């Protein structure tokens, strides 16, 4: 491993509002990814074992099914 010279980058101070906005957006994205993973797993479980979907299942409007490489 080698080091290089310091990159010329202007320092930008983050305000408390900027920090909170970053935390909120990160939390929102993590929640979205967790819900998408849950729904994808549930769909896979229903299809693989010929089960029924839960009656109270609500699919988030942002949900997008990701295709695995074997489905393409």
Residues in the chain: 72
Tally of domains within the chain: 1
Residue 17 lies in a domain: no
What is residue 25's predicted lDDT score, i.e. its pLDDT? 97
Residue 24 lies in a domain: no
What is residue 45's predicted lDDT score, i.e. its pLDDT? 92
Residue 11 lies in a domain: no
SS3 17: helix
The per-residue pLDDT for range 26-43, each reduced to its tens digit, is 999 999 999 989 999 999
What is residue 19's predicted lDDT score, i.e. its pLDDT? 97
The per-residue pLDDT for range 53-71, each reduced to its tens digit, is 999 998 888 887 777 666 5
Do residues 40 and 65 touch, judged by C-beta distance below 8 A? Answer: yes
Q: Which domain does 57 fall in, by range?
A: 29-65
Residue 14 lies in a domain: no
């Amino acid at each position: 491993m080698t080091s290089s010279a310091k990159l010329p980058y202007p320092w930008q101070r983050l305000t408390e509002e900027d920090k909170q906005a970053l935390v909120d957006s990160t939390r929102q994205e993590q929640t979205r990814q967790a819900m998408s993973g849950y729904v994808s797993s549930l769909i896979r479980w229903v299809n693989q074992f010929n089960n029924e979907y839960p009656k109270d299942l609500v699919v988030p409007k942002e949900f997008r099914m990701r295709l695995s490489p074997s489905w393409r």
